[in-house]
């Protein structure tokens, strides 16, 4: 019996339990803060309490004299080798980009910015001494409100002369992808419907459970950084590019990482400081942030005002969409900060055939925490806007919101379909996903219950919300990134090594922090090479092991990284064929590979891939001139983005007497193409839903008038608990992607992108009857109650007060 | 400095600690029990949950000196899992139900769930959700964590899964 005979035919599609679990459930984890090195020193940060202030003096004498303190550094001590923090995506050639120093010098630009660092022999000593650093500030007026900031009355950076960073525009008429939106709006005003809205995207905090942590060891030949990051390869590149240390002297390791959700794709002042200080003191150093520091200093997400105009015919055919965004960057342009809303530009048209489209986004500097990618990055904002608009249009026309959508969406026969934003959607079936979602949800029954409660004047009203979303993920075709002036490519790398013992070692350039790469990628390789799942080891997150890579974000690991893996594994098979032919004394053309075995066509003769690996290891008997290796690597640049989609249906109960919103049922049918591991996919959907629902109902990063983050801990920033959520009714449909070998589509962000508008549409569906048109997120009891009360009193029902402060 | 004596994961330990040292710092920094994690500074997240004298506590909310004379069990001592030993039924259920992703909330979540089931071996879904309210997870949406607790409860009753 060969090794392969007793393994199941296909790993892909199996609900394998995760390989990575055992360590994590038994407490033998290796998060960065767990790392302790001999002689290690600890850092503590002194942070500005003011949003905008001049630093007039820093007195560190007392801190320096404290027991166990090794050094205190301020900006005055830094030299060029400290580097700066980079923005990798200037979205326009004239983008206004403030220099982002690793330590603030004479001016602080947000509450939480670092002005000094204490180095001590213990974390407690460092923290104590940080309290002793005496900083004098002269407060400056701060640019805080986004709408005011764009007026340039108070400047976040007075030296720049403006808060306006960049204006990015796409117009379908100019691009040749569609008509002129102004014509469409004019026509609709004359004889059709125009929906004009302004929606608020609340500011969110990624709130990964593991606070960020960094360890730097300068004592080896290569300098090593461990960091709780999603992007070890990008951190390595940026360290080399800005600190003068040659790239091949830098090793960056992302060990176990406790969640990221975009929040850990940054290059951070904390990392850069640890990097520089370790080289000054010639000792390993560690910095782990407190949760409070994480809330103010790790980048935030969303924070936009969306001005929207939708034109349609009276029978509900959408004729044009105009989008004008204002997006808050915070006080610095983060690594892809300006680019996040631009990613949304391609998605406002969503699954619909919209003939004319205009998008403009003004990015704005303020004296708040910087913003950047948070799960979905640009696409949740776009999906929220269009799915809200479609429901508002349906209401205006008195149509069923699903019918209206169906009237406008791309039908499954129409793929591949080039959209008004210029993307080619390869595949999808919106009809199938919607039909299936309606059935699981019990759409008709819930509508009937809603009617009953409405008729009875029940104080608890039922609302049904819809979101038929799609998104672009699998970042990204390098040429497209180039055309958008992004500073890197979008390829991914994998290598497959056949070990002498028949085991397989795989290195991927994507870096997992909870996504289950070790399991899913093992399944792919096991199928491709016909080896047991257990025999495959997936290595990642260490630049010395995964030598090339572009890391993890934008739901790219499986669709880009997985494809690199497929290509590398296929190369192994191709390299092994001549060896097998040689061992079997057959012609290469007569060799077929199946289930891990090279056979000679029409005979019983064969060798397993493990036997070939053994033969290559000894190299005693190989074809003449053959290099003794069947290992292979592949770098894959995607040819297109990837377009998962789905139909999400949400039912909520709104207590009209208290404003309390209770989730009643949440059904989703997501089409993520071919599924490698249904268990992992479902987990990604659940977690995504929770975060999208949280934006709709709970989470809000609120600053006071002085620019202090008042929701700066888990007491005030309401990450939902188990008691706030319900069990989800998650299903899938499958239209395989046509742009990769396995037919997979990304799933990491889908739940978050889809769910926010489903929930808000549901809340509105419950209270529209009172005249409420909008409730600003999060739809807290206070806001829902106020909206109902205002609408009943004859007000418009728009409760924008307090939003965006 | 105060000298404390206690049992941690079945072993007797004795150390000098500063009066202000938290139990979680004691476990991680003095004993190297890094399986217990720190997720916040306001006692909201539950990542640090351990058992003190048989009950779940947030070890960031207990001073090391308060544990003097006590018996502490961390995730590392919940079952004899070294060298591939058997998992505790709650650990096994978390694995089986895919109740963890990044794993950062997991030690605390498991320790809290064990306590919850000790108190109430047959909880309803609502009782599980209320019982886990003090433990935050950012990855799973709790759906599979609830399944895992239900699965462990059923296993405890000898039911077939
Ligand atoms: S670390 Fe103890 S509750 Fe968060
Ligand atoms: S598994 Fe990541 S926080 Fe719970």
Residue A138, pLDDT > 90, answer yes
Rounded to an integer, what distance in angstroms lies between the CA atom of residue A302 and that of residue A117?
Answer: 30
Ligand 1 pocket mutation, candidates B39, B105, B136, criterion most atoms within 8 A of CB: B39
User: Do B139 and A31 lie within an 8 Å CB cutoff?
Assistant: no
Q: A609 by DSSP, 3-state: which?
A: helix
Do B74 and B95 have their domain in common?
no
Report how far residue B15's alpha carbon sits from residue A306's, in angstroms, rounded to the nearest whole number.
Answer: 58
Convert A788-802 to b/e letters by CB count within 10 Å (16 or more is b).
Answer: bbbbeeeeebbbeee
The answer to whether residue A229 scores a pLDDT higher than 90 is yes
- Using the Cβ of A1 and the Cβ atoms of chain B, whether some distance falls under 8 Å is answered with no
**Residue A803 pLDDT > 60:** no
The residue of chain A nearest to residue B134, with distances taken between CA atoms, is A721
Query: Rounded mean pLDDT of chain A?
Result: 95
Q: Could you tell me where the DSSP H helices lie in A282-338?
A: 291-297
The closest of A444, A597, A488, A603 to A236, measured between CA atoms, is A488
- Spacing, Cα B101 to ligand 2 middle (Å): 5
C-alpha span between A525 and A531 (Å, rounded): 8
Return d(Cα A405, Cα A393) in angstroms, integer: 10
Domains with residue ranges and CATH for chain A? 2-28+491-636 (3.30.365.10), 426-473+641-792 (3.30.365.10)
Report whether B74 contacts B27 (CB < 8 A). Answer: yes
Residue A31 CA to residue B102 CA, distance in Å, equals 10
Using pLDDT thresholds of 50, 70 and 90, give the confidence band for residue A7: very low
Beta bridge partners of residue A495, listed in sequence order: A507, A633
Q: Is the pLDDT reported for residue A66 higher than 80?
A: yes
pLDDT at A238 over 50: yes
| Residues belonging to chain B | 161
Give yes or no for residue A371 having a pLDDT over 80: yes
Q: DSSP letters of A204-218?
A: E----SSPPEEEEE-
Whole-number pLDDT of residue A1: 33
Which of A604-613, B16-25, B74-83 has the weakest average pLDDT? B74-83
- Is residue B51 domain-resident? yes
- Residue numbers of A between 712 and 771 with CB closer than 8 Å to B: 713-715, 719, 721-723, 725, 727-728, 751
Chain A residues with beta carbon closer than 8 angstroms to that of B138: 207-209, 259, 261, 687, 691, 719
Q: Which of B101, B125, B146 to probe by mutation at the A interface, max A CB count within 10 Å?
A: B101
Owning domain of residue B13? 2-79
B122 domain-assigned: yes
Cα dihedral sign, A774-A777-A780-A783: negative
CA nearest ligand 1 atom 3, residue: B43
Contacts of A313 (CB under 8 A, 6+ apart): A188, A192, A193, A319
Q: Given this model, what pLDDT does residue A19 score?
A: 96
Q: Helix count (H) and strand count (E) of chain A?
A: 21, 28
The confidence band for A794, taking pLDDT boundaries of 50, 70 and 90, is confident
**Same domain flag for B7 and B50:** yes
Instruction: Provide the 8-state DSSP code for A542.
Output: B
As a whole number, mean pLDDT of residues A132-140 equals: 98
Measure B96 CA to nearest chain A CA, in Å: 6
Q: Tens digits of per-residue pLDDT, A10-60? A: 999 999 999 999 999 999 999 999 999 999 999 999 999 999 999 999 999
Q: Phi/psi at A536 (nearest 5 deg)?
A: -100, 130
- A522 contact partners, CB below 8 Å, separation of at least 6: A11, A16, A19, A506, A533, A536, A537, A538
Residues B68, B105, single domain; the answer is: no
pLDDT in tens, A643-676: 999 999 999 999 999 999 999 999 999 999 999 9
Same domain? For B140 and B106 the reply is yes
Nearest CA in chain A to B78: A26
Contact (CB<8Å) B47/A209 = yes
Q: Residue A623 contacts by C-beta under 8 Å, 6 or more apart in sequence?
A: A578, A579, A581, A582
> Both B44 and B73 in a single domain?
yes
Residues B75 and B22 in one domain: yes
**Is 90 exceeded by the pLDDT of residue B76?**
yes
By CA distance, what is B93's nearest residue in A? A25
- B102/A691 CB distance under 8 A: no
Instruction: Report the run of H or E that residue A468 belongs to, with start and end.
Output: strand A460-470
Same domain, B47 and B101: no
CB A531 within 8 A of CB A525: yes
Residue A6 has pLDDT above 50, yes or no: no
Report the gap between the CA of A535 and the closest CA in chain B (Å): 17
pLDDT for residue A5 is more than 50:
no
Alpha helices, H only, chain B:
23-25, 89-96, 106-119, 125-131, 143-156
Ligand 1 centroid vs A749 CA: distance in angstroms? 27
Q: Is the pLDDT of residue A314 over 60?
A: yes
When pLDDT is averaged across residues A184-210 and rounded to a whole number, the result is 98
Q: Tell me, what's the pLDDT at B158?
A: 59
Q: In this predicted model, what pLDDT tens digit does every residue of A677-717 receive, in sequence order? A: 999 999 999 999 999 999 999 999 999 999 999 999 999 99
Burial-class residue B86 by CB neighbours within 10 Å (0-12, 13-18, 19+).
exposed
As a whole-number percent, the residues of chain A with pLDDT over 70 amount to 98
User: Within this chain, do residues B60 and B96 fall inside the same structural domain, yes or no?
Assistant: no
Domain-embedded: residue B9 = yes
Contacts of A330 (CB under 8 A, 6+ apart): A110, A299, A300, A337, A365, A366, A368, A369, A370, A371
Higher pLDDT, B59 or A797: B59
Return the pLDDT at A554: 87
Residue A4: pLDDT band with limits 50, 70, 90: very low
Please indicate, yes or no, whether residues B66 and B45 belong to a single structural domain of this protein: yes
Partners of residue B150 in chain A, C-beta under 8 Å: none
Residues in B closer than 8 angstroms to A750, CB to CB, are none
pLDDT of residue A137: 98
Contact residues for A151 (Cβ-Cβ < 8 A; gap 6+): none
**Helix axis angle, A401-408 relative to A430-441, nearest 10°?**
170
Q: Do residues A21 and A28 lie in contact, with contact meaning Cβ atoms separated by under 8 Å?
A: no
Distance separating alpha carbons of residues A678 and A634, to the nearest angstrom: 26
Res. A797: pLDDT tops 50: no
Average pLDDT over residues A218-238: 97
CB contacts of A22 in chain B (<8 Å) are 81, 95
Measured between beta carbons, the chain A residues lying within 8 angstroms of B136 are 209, 714, 719, 721
Model confidence at A9: pLDDT above 90? no
Measured between beta carbons, which residues in chain A are less than 8 angstroms from residue B144? Answer: 682-683, 686
How confident is the model at residue A555, as a pLDDT?
86
Q: Given an 8 Å threshold on Cβ–Cβ distance, is A209 in contact with B39?
A: yes
Confidence at B160, pLDDT banded by 50, 70, 90: very low
CB contact under 8 A, B132 and A723: yes
Eight-state DSSP code of residue A564 = H
Least confident of A345-349, A543-547, A799-803: A799-803
Domain-embedded: residue B145: yes
Predicted local distance difference test score (pLDDT) of residue B84: 73
* Residue B69, Cβ density class (10 Å: 0-12 exposed, 13-18 middle, ≥19 buried): exposed
- Reported confidence tier of residue A82, pLDDT bands at 50, 70, 90: very high
| Selection from A755, A751, A702, A645 nearest residue A204 by Cα | A702
Using the predicted structure, report yes or no on whether residue A443 has a pLDDT greater than 50: yes
Residues B106 and B45 in one domain: no
pLDDT tens per residue, range A244-286: 999 999 999 999 999 999 999 999 999 999 999 999 999 999 9
Do the Cβ atoms of B41 and B25 come closer than 8 Å? no
Is B161 domain-assigned?
Answer: no
Whether the predicted model's global pTM rises above the 0.90 cut: yes
**Does residue A648 contact residue A750 with C-beta atoms inside 8 Å?**
no
CATH number of the domain where residue B30 is located? 3.10.20.30
User: Per DSSP, what are the bridge partners of residue A451?
Assistant: none
Min Cα separation B36/chain A (Å): 7
- Last residue in a domain, options B79, B98, B114: B79
pLDDT value at residue B157: 78
Residue B98, domain CATH: 1.10.150.120
Q: CB within 8 A of A374, min separation 6: which ones?
A: A204, A206, A261, A262, A263, A299, A300, A301, A302
Query: Which ligand has its closest atom nearest to the C-alpha of A690?
Result: 2
Write out the DSSP string of A630-661. Answer: --EEEEE--SS-B--EEEEEEEEEEETTT--E
User: C-alpha angle A766/A771/A772, rounded to 5°?
Assistant: 65
Which numbered ligand comes closest to the C-alpha of B25? 1
Q: What is the 3-state secondary structure (H, E, C) of A215-272?
A: EEECCCCCEEEEECCCCHHHHHHHHHHHHCCCHHHEEEECCECCCCCCCCCCCCHHHH
pLDDT of residue B80: 75
Contact A747, A644 (CB under 8 A): yes
> What is the CB < 6 Å shell around ligand 1?
B 38-40, 43-48, 58, 60
Look at residues B45, B79, B113 and tell me which one is the last residue of a structural domain: B79
What is the rounded distance in angstroms from the CA atom of residue A495 to the CA atom of residue A633? 4
Give the integer Cα–Cα distance in Å for B24 and A290.
Answer: 14
Among protein residues, the one with the nearest Cα to ligand 2's atom 3 is: B137
Distance (Å, whole) CA A385 – CA A381: 6
Cβ of A25 within 8 Å of Cβ of B87? The answer is yes
Helices (H), A556-677: 562-584, 609-618
Ligand nearest to the CA of B102: 2
Assess whether pLDDT exceeds 60 at residue A796: no
Residue A753 has pLDDT above 60, yes or no: yes
Question: Given this model, what pLDDT does residue B83 score?
Answer: 65
Q: Which of B26, B34, B45 to mutate to test the pocket of ligand 1 (most atoms within 8 A of CB)?
A: B45
Exposed, middle or buried, A76 (CB in 10 Å: 0-12/13-18/19+)? exposed
Give the H/E segment covering residue A307: strand A301-312
Residues with CB under 6 A from ligand 2: A 209, 259, 514; B 100-106, 137-140
Q: Is B133's CB within 8 Å of A691's CB?
A: no
C-alpha dihedral (A437, A438, A440, A444), degrees to nearest 10: 170
The reply to whether B75 falls in a domain is yes
**Host H or E run for residue A796:** none
Quote the pLDDT of residue A3: 38
pLDDT over 90, % of chain A:
96
CA-based nearest distance A683→chain B, Å: 6
Instruction: Spell out which residues of chain B touch residue A257, defining contact as CB-CB under 8 Å.
Output: 102
Quote the CA–CA distance of A152 and A143 in Å, as a whole number.
8
The CB density around residue A372, as the number of other CB atoms within 10 Å, is: 26
Residues B74, B114 within the same domain:
no
CB contact under 8 A, A259 and B39: no
Q: In which band, very low, low, confident or very high, does the pLDDT at A798 lie, cut at 50, 70 and 90?
A: low
| Count of helices and strands (H, E) across chain B | 5, 5
State how many domains chain B has: 2
Q: Indicate which residue's Cα is closest to atom 4 of ligand 2.
A: B137
Nearest to A484 by CA among A119, A168, A98, A154: A168
Q: Are A206 and A369 in contact (CB under 8 A)?
A: no
User: Mean pLDDT, to the nearest integer, of A725-753?
Assistant: 95
Taking an 8 Å cut-off on Cβ atoms, the answer to whether A722 and B138 are in contact is no
C-alpha B67 – ligand 2 centre gap (Å): 27
Q: How many of the other CB atoms lie within 10 Å of CB of A325?
A: 25
Test A26 with B81 for CB contact under 8 angstroms. yes
**pLDDT in the model for residue A531:** 97
DSSP output for A52-72: SEEEEEEE-HHHHHSTTEEEE
The partner residues of A119 in beta bridges, in order of sequence, read A43, A71
B70 and B92 fall within a common domain = no
- At which of B79, B110, B140 does a domain end? B79
């Amino acid at each position: 019996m060969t090794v392969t005979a007793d393994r199941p035919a296909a790993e892909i599609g199996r609900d394998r339990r995760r390989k990575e679990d055992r360590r994590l459930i038994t407490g033998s984890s290796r998060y960065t803060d767990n790392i302790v090195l001999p002689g290690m020193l600890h850092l503590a940060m002194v942070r500005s309490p003011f949003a905008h202030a001049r630093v007039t003096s820093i007195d560190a004498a007392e801190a320096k004299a404290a027991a166990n303190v090794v050094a205190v550094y301020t900006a005055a001590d830094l030299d060029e080798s400290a580097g700066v923090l980079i923005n990798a995506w200037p979205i326009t050639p004239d983008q206004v980009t403030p220099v982002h120093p690793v330590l603030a010098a004479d001016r602080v630009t947000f509450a939480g910015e670092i002005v000094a660092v204490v180095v001590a022999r213990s974390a407690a000593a460092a923290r104590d001494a940080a309290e002793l650093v005496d900083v004098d500030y002269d407060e400056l007026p701060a640019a805080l409100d986004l709408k005011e900031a764009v007026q340039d009355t108070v400047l976040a950076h007075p030296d720049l002369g403006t808060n306006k960073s960049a204006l990015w525009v796409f117009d379908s008429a100019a691009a040749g992808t569609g008509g002129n939106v102004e014509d469409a709006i004019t026509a609709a005003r004359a004889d059709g419907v125009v929906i004009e809205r302004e929606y608020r995207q609340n500011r969110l905090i990624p709130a990964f459970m593991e606070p960020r942590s960094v360890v730097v060891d300068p004592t080896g030949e290569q300098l090593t950084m461990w960091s709780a990051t999603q992007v070890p390869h990008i951190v390595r590149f940026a360290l080399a590019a800005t600190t003068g240390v040659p790239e091949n002297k830098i090793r960056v390791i992302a060990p176990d990482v406790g969640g990221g959700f975009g929040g850990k794709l940054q290059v951070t002042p904390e990392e850069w400081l640890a990097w520089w200080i370790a080289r000054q003191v010639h000792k390993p150093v560690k910095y782990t942030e407190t949760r409070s520091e994480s809330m103010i200093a790790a980048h935030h997400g969303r924070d936009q005002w969306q001005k929207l105009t939708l034109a349609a015919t009276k029978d509900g055919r959408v004729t044009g969409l105009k989008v004008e965004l204002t997006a808050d960057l915070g006080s610095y342009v983060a690594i892809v900060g300006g680019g996040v809303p631009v990613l949304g530009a391609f998605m406002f048209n969503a699954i619909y055939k919209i003939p004319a489209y205009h998008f403009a986004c003004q990015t704005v500097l303020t004296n708040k925490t910087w913003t950047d990618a948070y799960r979905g990055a640009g696409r949740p904002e776009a999906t929220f806007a269009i799915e809200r608009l479609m429901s508002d249009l349906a209401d205006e026309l008195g149509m069923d919101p699903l019918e209206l959508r169906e009237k406008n969406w791309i039908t499954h026969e129409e793929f591949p379909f080039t959209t008004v934003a210029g993307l080619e959607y390869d595949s999808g079936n919106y009809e199938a996903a919607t039909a299936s979602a309606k059935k699981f949800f019990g759409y008709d029954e819930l509508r009937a219950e809603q009617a009953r409660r409405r008729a009875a004047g029940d104080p608890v009203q039922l609302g049904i919300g819809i979101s038929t979303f799609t998104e672009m993920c699998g970042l990204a075709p390098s040429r497209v990134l180039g055309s958008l002036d992004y500073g890197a490519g979008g390829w991914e790398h994998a290598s497959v090594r056949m070990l002498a013992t028949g085991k397989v070692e795989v290195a991927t350039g994507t870096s997992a922090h909870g996504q289950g790469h070790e399991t899913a990628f093992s399944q792919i390789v096991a199928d491709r090479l016909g080896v047991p799942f257990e025999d495959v080891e997936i290595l990642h997150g260490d630049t010395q092991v995964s030598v090339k890579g572009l890391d993890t974000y934008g739901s790219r690991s499986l669709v880009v990284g997985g494809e690199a893996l497929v290509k590398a594994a296929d190369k192994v098979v191709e390299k092994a064929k001549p060896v097998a032919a040689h061992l079997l004394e057959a012609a290469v053309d007569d060799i077929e590979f199946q289930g891990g075995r090279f056979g000679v066509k029409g005979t019983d003769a064969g060798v397993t891939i493990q036997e070939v690996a053994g033969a290559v290891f000894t190299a005693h008997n190989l074809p003449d001139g053959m290099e003794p290796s069947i290992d292979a690597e592949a770098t894959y640049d995607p040819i297109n983005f990837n377009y998962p989609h789905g139909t999400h249906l949400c039912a909520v109960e709104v207590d009209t007497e208290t404003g309390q919103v209770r989730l009643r049922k949440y059904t989703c049918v997501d089409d993520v193409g071919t599924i490698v591991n249904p268990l992992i996919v479902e987990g990604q959907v659940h977690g995504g839903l929770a975060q999208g629902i949280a934006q709709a109902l709970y989470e809000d990063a609120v600053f006071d008038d002085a620019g202090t983050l008042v929701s700066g801990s888990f007491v005030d920033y309401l990450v939902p608990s188990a008691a706030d959520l319900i069990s989800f009714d998650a299903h899938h449909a499958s239209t395989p992607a046509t742009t990769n070998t396995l037919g997979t589509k990304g799933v990491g962000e889908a739940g978050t992108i889809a769910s926010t508008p489903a929930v808000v549409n549901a809340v509105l569906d419950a209270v529209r009857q009172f005249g409420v048109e909008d409730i600003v997120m999060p739809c807290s009891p206070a806001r829902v109650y106020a909206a109902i009360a205002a609408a009943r009193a004859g007000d418009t029902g728009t409760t924008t007060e307090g939003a965006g402060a | 400095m105060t000298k404390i004596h206690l049992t941690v994961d079945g072993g007797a330990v004795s150390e000098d600690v500063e009066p202000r040292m938290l139990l979680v710092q004691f476990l991680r920094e003095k004993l190297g029990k890094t399986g217990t994690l720190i997720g916040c500074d306001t006692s909201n997240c539950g990542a640090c949950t351990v058992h003190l004298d048989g009950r779940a506590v947030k070890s960031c909310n207990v001073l090391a000196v308060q544990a003097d004379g006590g018996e502490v069990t961390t995730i590392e001592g919940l079952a004899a899992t070294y060298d591939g030993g058997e998992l505790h039924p709650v650990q096994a259920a978390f694995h089986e139900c895919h109740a963890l992703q990044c794993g950062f909330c997991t030690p605390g979540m498991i320790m809290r769930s064990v306590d919850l089931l000790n108190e109430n071996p047959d909880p309803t879904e609502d009782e599980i959700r209320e019982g886990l309210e003090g433990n935050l997870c950012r990855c799973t949406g709790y759906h599979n964590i609830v399944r895992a607790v239900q699965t462990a409860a059923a296993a405890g009753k000898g039911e077939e899964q």
